[in-house]
Amino acid sequence: MARILITSAIPYINGIKHLGNLVGSQLPADLFARYNRARGHEVLFLCATDEHGTPAELAAAKTGEPVDEYCARMWGVQKELSDGFGLSFDKFGRSSSPQNHALTQHFAGKLAEAGLIEEVTESQVYSNADGRFLPDRYIEGTCPNCGYDRARGDQCENCTKQLDPTDLIEPRSAISGSTELEVRETKHLYLKQRSLRKELSDWIDTKTDWPILTTSIARKWLNDGDGLQDRGITRDLDWGIPVKKGDQDWPGMEGKVFYVWFDAPIEYIACAKEWSDERGAPDAEWERWWRTDKGADDVRYVQFMGKDNVPFHTLSFPATIIGSGEPWKLVDYIKSFNYLNYDGGQFSTSQGRGVFMDQALEILPADYWRWWLLSHAPESSDSEFTWENFQSSVNKDLADVLGNFVSRVTKFCRSKFGEGVPAGGAWGAEEEALIARLTEGLAAYERHMEAIEVRKAAAELRALWVAGNEYLQSAAPWAAYKEDPERAAAVVRLALNLIRVYAVLSAPFIPDAAARMLSSMNTLDTEWPGDMRAALEALPAGHAFTVPDVLFRKISDEERADWETRFAGTR
| 17: helix, strand or coil | coil
Contact 239, 257 (CB under 8 A): yes
512 contact partners, CB below 8 Å, separation of at least 6? 86, 365, 366, 367
Contact 460, 467 (CB under 8 A): no
Q: Write out 250-279 in H/E/C secondary structure.
A: CCCCCCCEECHHHHHHHHHHHHHHHHHHHC
Rounded Cα distance, 517 and 542, in Å: 18
Q: 156 among the known binding-site residues?
A: yes
| 13: helix, strand or coil | coil
Contact 503, 529 (CB under 8 A): no
Q: 349 among the known binding-site residues?
A: yes
- 20 exposure class (CB count in 10 Å sphere: 0-12, 13-18, 19+): buried
For 305, how many CA atoms within 13 A lie in the half-sphere containing its CB? 23
Handedness of CA 54, 161, 377, 527 (dihedral sign): negative
- Burial call 122-132: b when 16+ CB within 10 Å, e when fewer: eebbbbeebeb
Nearest partner of 398 among 471, 472, 470, 458, judged by Cα: 458
- 197 exposure class (CB count in 10 Å sphere: 0-12, 13-18, 19+): middle
Nearest partner of 5 among 269, 311, 317, judged by Cα: 269
Rounded Cα distance, 402 and 389, in Å: 18
Q: 271 among the known binding-site residues?
A: no
Binding-site members are 143, 146, 156, 159, 349
List binding-site positions for ATP. 349
Residue numbers in the known binding site for Zn(2+) are 143, 146, 156, 159
